[in-house]
Structure 1
């Protein structure tokens, strides 16, 4: 990473106190990491600020110590300790690294009779957490979360999305039926670009139709290739070229870099990661579409069968001007097995009445005419399709991922980074209307071709001891992305920090989620192939200057991006019928259209001691074309406005407030027609969403409470989100037609209000650390006069509307996350527990009735306890063991539409080493 000087600025105590990240201790690694600096002689406060930012660390100091001091020029690639030593030379200041903090203090000198004792500077790396008593550290985290490889590795799970499961307010809804992809929500806001995911600077999400479950905004990546994750909650207060529509937040992912792979001081090296887990079964799927409906599920989970797992090999080369990374990762997961405890919570008791023959004194039924039968009450049970410790069908997953990165510095002021990533996978998924079970005594029906090639219907009764569920062949995804970033950073011109970014993402998908294909019954009628391509370009510049001695950083630029959805070029082969005439106008099941989005943006960061302000403006528009319907929708430009203020209330306490007024344009999927379940309808025109949101937070940090060097961070935040004209699915009557004749389309809801509170406690000492978080939503309300009129219900409610998918977007009222761990033997052992819990959730009565989906109307409260044990054999070899769902709970994700349980107890074993 390269930096440049900021001229004519000054630093306040607040600027030093503000935290630059949230992570567990990484000081030892940061001290030996090599960073590139290009700083000219300037005020010492400016150089220290940029050194801390480059190392992603917090800077703590008394600004009075730095007044009037100059720092020497800092050039080239050097370690953090070398940078601090050179910067503080002859300043009579000391730098100490504790956890993720750089602490600047006046040099402590021993008493001496000599009045001519030389002044000196010392650098003291310290990972022992022994903080001096008069130093208090403050981190303003609130709506920003950072996760590095250490935390990613600690969060084990079968899905790539599991790495997000331990953060408050971050949801990965319905992740078990998302083909191993990422579809992240933040504080109840999810889908359709509301929370975009950027990988190495490029947007890489793809649209996926999910039938009666709507659509998913999927991002495909193997979590073993991830180095860092940054999450920002709510509309962004920083400049981002492609943040238009990101009303819920943003997720930025950086893939493996040379620092993740190379040994200390080496130029060439490799990283190897091997992991395996139990609790999975590779399904043997029949070729016949008919027999796929009757896959025999297994209820026998062999805990010693470690058939799933992954392998990663990454190589890196680094020299003065060149950095290269090449990586390959393989992951394979079979159908997992559900837990056992709590199964009874999903068994539904139904009270009913029936006619029964009268009984004698011994309870035997009498042989009497039906006219003498008696109407009696009785109760019967409805079991969920998946048994205790039963196989959960269509959850298998297999992927191969390739990564290549190159960074070249033409000069000290110019660099070029080029990335490309290829991901191919096969993953099980199915439509919600096929989530059911057949049991012994039921009859299965299927077609088979006879010796003459004619289809014949076959039938067979399911024998005792056998249970079947639909298990389809896996769908596939081929995703290829590439990006290039050019940077120009003159060391003698603080007005220029230029970045030009070009990227492209192409996805070819084969999935069973269409309607009307001619391949056969059951899954065969849903098969289709679709292409989703995105590409974009952005130009951004940052200028640093001072106005009335107030430091200002102004970032501004523009962006353009295009997205296309199109069917496979031979799509007609799968949908044309023999009875279609030659001039029959066949409509593709897949979308066929293009969306073009433009944006111009500006961001100002102003230090008005003791307040720091951030102002973000983003003006954007959209043009959406539907090639099938020959229709073009133009959405006029809207301007997003975000204002954020941070105030250092006390030495150890800071408060933050943010207000945003942002828009999301209807996306390509919402404005095009197809034979999929939901399509755009001109009978119900749509408009952009408008989101008003604000949050207010406070955070305090205390040190040396129970022992020397410990620290405690307390945080609280209130947030409020109101999405006006929220776009969502709906079952609406066709104009002029009977009420039962409905359109499945997209429409604007009046509003969706999501107020809530987040509380956090973080404690760390020499041996013990913990992180506790609590999220509570209060007075959640969704309103739609149009949906209410169609269903004859109240305009506003707390659960969403039965004739739509909005109930899935409403989060549970309360959720809890607790991480408790310890580090032993000089941090060689890192072990602990992660506890996650949510309260019950209700869906409206009659949810998705008439669609063939047995939708959940009630999701019980549930919890999961995970255990992890990481051991560092040496600086270059680590191993880990994890047990997820330690108590083997039978639970369902709060974003599920059907009773698809989460994985039961799963043991994972991993080994990582550098060569």
Structure 2
């Protein structure tokens, strides 16, 4: 939850030594010497009153020090605690309406710690064992308040106390570096990218450590999935999840499998704003208005073409003729687009509510000018080669593009326009002792430029501005219930349910039949409608075993996906045969966390999952010319598990090791027949065996009295046995010689190193991240492994960069009213090349969309005009770099230098 992070401006406040337990390095304090029995009677009375005032809380499970800080902030209390007592401990979630006394009791349940009010607004955390670390506090220790740091949140530093791969993106970072589209939210996060960043903007397709698509990474908004598979011809498939960054409060990323999740590669959990993010402390009603103006775009004109028209004919000299449009880039300070959002919220003692609306419209952006732009060059004679033969010198003077895309410097990038409208409504009610019910609605209506990837995949392909845009309608309902009674540690219950309807309509991609022939409008857009439902029920019981605290979590999850063509689609698309199928999956799980000693924690989990799929597409057209397998129903299941060790070496250093063995069952795209894509009844699920070894470092007072530092370094070794990929078979003697289906290859491996580090001191903040892949390997068989992607497989354009680096710097001035900052990100080359490990089969059936290494520079400035209004200015791609994002299916460059200016009013 975003809070007012400015320190008080009174002179007395500047002399305080502040405390922030998210670092896990709490300063030793003395309040234990101020025992409750020594308090004056008036102070005790005030403490009793404070302890009875109820407050609505929503504190997720996290490191105990972080949770205590949040609770202290929300109750207005000061904490007295020794760092050694909190080391390695985690809290349970705390949701509901509590008096402070009951809230602290519930949060500390099962930790071996207790609390007492030792002053009017002071809570002392003590060890239930009188011989514990609180029994010998030094008499000269200081009383410390919770710390609040400009531009940070508990989650940002909390990742340095979490064992395993984890990342966190807070609201401040989302506002300062939001980029041109949702995919840009992940820029600078080690090991995390989003595919198809520019084509069909408005969606994300997360890639975590090389795994992407087909359900390998779960992307959720308030716990609800909304993933859609979009057919892109032979070139591949886009896995799109839709989100409006205006409403995202924070993003938590888990790299790897969890026994409660269906994904084997990780989870991207996005939380939307709550009432507490809008309503100011001490008030019950609040509003937030955000206005933004930006430039570097032009109005799309249907039929415009990009770059050069390349003409290379057999026996004739080649040529390259520049297209007449696209070079009308506006001035740097010319505003061409607008965006706005308005949110209102109410937060009472036992209930809260939020309602928000957002609108954003953008024309086609212009590419940068510095870099590998379109550059026609005569390369002399070129042979014309077929599969087995070549005609020497068939092209006497071949003209090729030496750039990475057929776009000139500063040219308008066609089909990059977008428009969206979003509605967010959320309500929460607390009742009883520790019970909370939440209901939410997320609506999204988007219109985006979209390119059929198989029509724009080479550096000499000239793009054409399409008249029709892709349209997306998303409606998502979420329902959550939690119960955590303070009097017992056996119940910490969470139940969630979601229902999502996602419809996407795009220009015809099949036969392109006239819609009016079938009684449909001339501008009819075919598409698909997908309904998704899911539910999870889980409980955590905390026990004192006598051999250390034990937390047991157990429960079950279910999700369903049902997809079918919208009415009229089959008639217009013809042989494309869009999928018509349903898929269900369940998982039952249990996991345990045992604090074996005060420095060693052991955790493990076990799960069983099962899925069922049904292909309803049983009536193909007779002119298909191919024999497919239709109407297949499948089901299979299996076991998986996790194991982890965490060693708290000392106050600052933590070592961890994690292992998971997880199945991924074929998703709905892999379980239904469409076009030349057939069901393979013999496939087996993927099995991911993932290792990670690493170290965390958290410290306050590293170089200065009040500085904070965090460091995470890890090595990951991901092995996916029976990796599911697209296999292309060519049989000249068959009725239909080209055959495509999902099949298992022997193995895929993704190994590498990741680094994240942060340093904060006063108004200064520096964050560094880096990752490096030591191995990316695909093995068609056990004996045919190579560091090249496979011909015909979707993974061709899911191979991540070999390395990437990011550095961001922030500094506050003028009593923290003015904040300046910037970020530099560098993206290296592809980790591996493109080829067939067996040197057999079809040619390059899926084209490699390559990029050259590039560096982007972004900068921002924020100025708090008063306590209500903040002005913002940011510049993306300051050096105007021409580049192509990794993991794209089309040769579509990213935006050039773009200036954004906005105002945010909180009242």
| TM-score, structure 1 normalization | 0.77
Q: Is the 8 A contact 2:818 2:862 kept in 1?
A: yes
**Match of 1:589?**
577
CA pair 95-489 structure 1, distance change in 2 beyond 3 A:
closer
Structure 1 position 141, deviation (Å): 6.1
CA contact (8 A) 2:304 2:464 kept: no
Q: Match for residue 661 of structure 1?
A: 661
Per-residue deviation at 1:285?
2.8
User: Which of 697, 701, 704 is the aligned partner of 1:707?
Assistant: 704
**Which residue of structure 2 lines up, in the alignment, with residue 607 of structure 1?**
595
How much has 1:314 moved relative to structure 2? 0.7
1:832 paired to 2:821: yes
Answer yes or no: is 1:247 the counterpart of 2:264: yes
- Picking from 805, 818, 829, the partner of 1:816 is 805
Q: 321-330 or 828-837, which moves further after superposition?
A: 828-837
Distance 1:260 1:602, change over 3 A: same
Aligned to 1:432: 453
Partner of 1:161: helix, strand, or coil? helix
Per the alignment, residue 449 of structure 1 pairs with none
Tell me the distance in 2 between the aligned counterparts of 1:438 and 1:125: 55
Q: Is 2:500 aligned against 1:502?
A: no
| Paired residue secondary structure (2:677) | coil
The 1-side partners of 2:80 and 2:165 are apart by 20
Equivalent residues of 2:849, 2:890 under 8 A apart: no
- Of residues 277, 290, 315, the one that matches 1:273 is 290
CA–CA distance in structure 2, aligned partners of residues 75 and 201 of structure 1: 19
- Whether the 8 Å CA contact 2:658–2:693 is kept in 1: the answer is yes
Q: Deviations over 1:774-815 (max 9, x none)?
A: 2110121111149xxxxxxx9322230233332212212111
Counterpart in 2 of 1:580? none
5+ residue gaps, structure 1? 2-15, 22-32, 40-44, 67-72, 98-102, 111-119, 130-135, 289-293, 356-372, 443-466, 577-586, 787-793
Matches within 5 A, 1:512-531: 512=507, 514-519=509-514, 528-531=526-529
Map 1:410-421 to 2 at 5 A. Answer: 410-421=431-442
Deviations 1:851-885 (A, max 9, x none): 99994464211111111112223333222111111
Aligned counterparts, 1:887-898, within 5 A: 887-898=879-890
Q: Retained in 1: the 8 A contact 2:730–2:842?
A: no
Alignment match, 1:694: 691
Question: 340, 344, 362: which is aligned to 1:315?
Answer: 344
Corresponding residue for residue 724 of structure 2: 727
Counting matched residue pairs gives: 783
C-alpha deviation, 1:249, in angstroms: 0.7
The range that moved more, 832-841 or 224-233, is 832-841
**1:487: how far off?**
2.2
Could you give the per-residue CA deviations for residues 655-684 of structure 1, whole angstroms, max 9, x where no partner exists?
111101001000111110122xx62334x7
State the Cα distance separating 1:266 from its structure 2 match: 1.4
The one of 186, 196, 210 aligned to 1:188:
210
The offset of 1:381, in angstroms, is 4.6
Contact 1:275 1:909 in 2 (8 A): yes
Quick one: distance in 1 between partners of 2:825 and 2:459?
Answer: 33
Aligned-partner Cα distance in 1 for 2:711–2:697: 5
Task: Kindly state the Cα deviation for residue 539 of structure 1 after the two structures are TM-superposed.
Answer: 1.9
| 1:637 Cα deviation after fit | 1.7
Match of 2:896 among 888, 904, 907: 904
- In structure 2, the partner of 1:534 is 532
- Distance in 2, matches of 1:747 and 1:280, equals 43
Q: Check the 8 A contact 1:295/1:470 in 2, yes or no.
A: no
Contact 1:48 1:87 in 2 (8 A): no
Q: Does 1:844 align with 2:834?
A: yes
Change (3 A) 1:200 1:748: same
The 2-side partners of 1:163 and 1:296 are apart by: 35
- 1:81, 1:865 → 2: CA distance? 49
Q: Is the 8 A contact 1:229 1:253 kept in 2?
A: yes
User: Equivalents in 1 of 2:612, 2:284: separation in Å?
Assistant: 48
Q: For the Cα contact (< 8 Å) 1:192–1:216, is it kept in 2?
A: no
Which residue is equivalent to 1:481?
476
Q: Distance in 1 between matches of 2:432 and 2:358?
A: 33
Q: Once the 2 structures are TM-superposed, how far is the Cα of residue 705 of structure 1 from its aligned partner? A: 4.5
Distance 2:865 2:250 in 1: 23
Cα distance, 1:716 vs structure 2: 1.5
Distance apart, 1:250 and its partner CA? 0.3
In 1, Cα distance between equivalents of 2:86 and 2:227: 48
Distance in 1 (alpha carbons) for counterparts of 2:304 and 2:631: 40
Q: Tell whether the 8 Å contact from 2:485 to 2:491 is kept in structure 1 after alignment.
A: yes
Do the aligned partners of residues 480 and 375 (structure 1) sit closer, same or farther apart at CA in structure 2, a change above 3 Å counting? closer
Where 2:834 maps in the other structure, the secondary structure is: coil
**Residues 309 and 646 of structure 1, relative CA distance in 2, 3 Å threshold:** farther
Q: Shift in Å at residue 516 of structure 1?
A: 2.2
After TM superposition, give the deviation of residue 645 of structure 1 in Å.
1.6
Q: Give the secondary structure class of the aligned counterpart of 1:540.
A: strand
Q: Distance in 2 between matches of 1:252 and 1:667?
A: 20
1:385 aligns to 2:375 (yes or no) = no
Residues 18 and 693 of structure 1, relative CA distance in 2, 3 Å threshold: farther
1:777 aligns with 2:801: no
Look up the match of 1:806: 795
CA distance in 1, matches of 2:398, 2:881: 30
Instruction: Name the larger-Rg structure.
Output: 1
Match of 2:354 in 1: 325
**Correspondence for 1:352:** 380
Q: Distance in 1 between matches of 2:542 and 2:413?
A: 56
Q: Which residue of 2 aligns with 1:336?
A: 365
| Residues 80, 144 of structure 2: 8 Å contact kept | no
- Local SS of the residue matching 2:428: strand
Which residue does the alignment assign to 1:753?
Answer: 749
1-structure distance, mates of 2:840, 2:508: 18
Deviations along 1:234-266, one digit per CA (max 9) or x if unpaired, are 112xx63xx11x111101111110111112211
> Following the alignment from structure 1 to structure 2, what is the Cα–Cα distance between the partners of residues 799 and 889?
28
Q: 1:261 to 1:79 in 2, by over 3 A?
A: farther
| Residue 200 in structure 1 maps to residue 222 in structure 2 | yes
Cα contact 2:482–2:494 (8 A) shared by 1: yes
Q: Could you say which residue in structure 2 is the equivalent of 1:452?
A: none
What secondary structure sits across from 1:784 in the alignment? Answer: strand
Deviation at 1:899, TM superposition (A): 2.3
How many angstroms does 1:197 deviate by?
Answer: 1.2
